[in-house]
Amino acid sequence: MVLLSPSISGLTQLLSVCESYAKSHGLKYNVAKTEMLVFRAGTSPENVTEVTLNGSVVRVVEQFKYLGHIVTGDRKDDLDMERERRALSVRCNMLARRFARCSGEVKETLFRAYCQCFYTCQFWYNYKRSSFSTVRVQYNNAYRILMKLPRYCSASGMFAEGRMPDFFAIIRSCISSFWDRLRDASNSILKVICKDLTSLMMRYWIRAHREPNKK
């Protein structure tokens, strides 16, 4: 479970509620597996007041993997993009090794199924240009390796010839799909987020459609 609070005092109160519930239901939290991540603002102090659970201090970490997505205290996405790049490399190598003798049509179907799913890419908005570029290059190389194309052949040319969406098209598609789900959601909080066109995430989504080659 995840607890979110804008202050240490608020988090302490939330933990107190959890402790009371666990005690009344015969449960106990594993403090050794409990971690706290602080999202720091510009004026946030370096030292954070200790938070306890069942009398033990909760360990403070700089990054945390939640549902497969790497979240960091500085709110940057470079580490999560590297996670996805490595996962893409593993999937590509597996396909190239196991299906080397298959036809081009079969390989293209496998590529669409296994190499075009960039998990939580719609949340990437605060990153270095080089991090974004490494994922794009990995995607291009994955197609070259699977289809046994020359290493330095034109990426736009090979995707056009194979009628395959390029990296930017995949990102825009993921963003659009997620945006549609937000707009159709019945949750009032999600509706407010979707209508806020001034938020950093929303501005990034809009920019991704207007300027696909820029951060």
Over residues 20-32, the pLDDT tens digits come to: 999 999 998 899 9
> pLDDT band at residue 42, thresholds of 50, 70 and 90?
low
210, pLDDT greater than 80: no
For residue 59, what are the β-bridge partners? 35
Separation of alpha carbons 40 and 56, rounded Å: 23
Per the prediction, the chain carries an average pLDDT of 89
- pTM for the model: 0.83
Which residue's structure tokens are 């403070």? Answer: 60
Burial label, 117 (beta-carbon count in 10 A; 0-12, 13-18, 19+): middle
Range with lowest mean pLDDT among 75-89, 112-126, 187-201: 187-201
> Over 50: is that where the pLDDT of 215 sits?
no
In this structure, are residues 37 and 73 in contact, taking their beta carbons and an 8 Å threshold? yes
User: Residue for token digits 């194979």?
Assistant: 162
More confident residue, 48 or 25: 25
Residue-wise pLDDT tens digits, 131-147: 999 999 999 999 999 99
- Write the CB contacts of 63 (distance below 8 Å, at least 6 apart in sequence): 37, 70, 71, 72, 73, 79
Could you please report the per-residue DSSP string of 56-121?
A: EEPEEESEEEETTEEEETT---HHHHHHHHHHHHHHHHHHHHHSTTS-HHHHHHHHHHHSS--TTG
Please say if the pLDDT value at position 49 is more than 90. no
Chain centre distance of CA 170: 14
Has residue 209 got a pLDDT over 80? no
Burial environment of residue 167 by CB neighbours within 10 A (0 to 12, 13 to 18, 19 or more): buried
User: Any idea which of 36-45, 175-184, 205-214 has the lowest mean pLDDT?
Assistant: 205-214
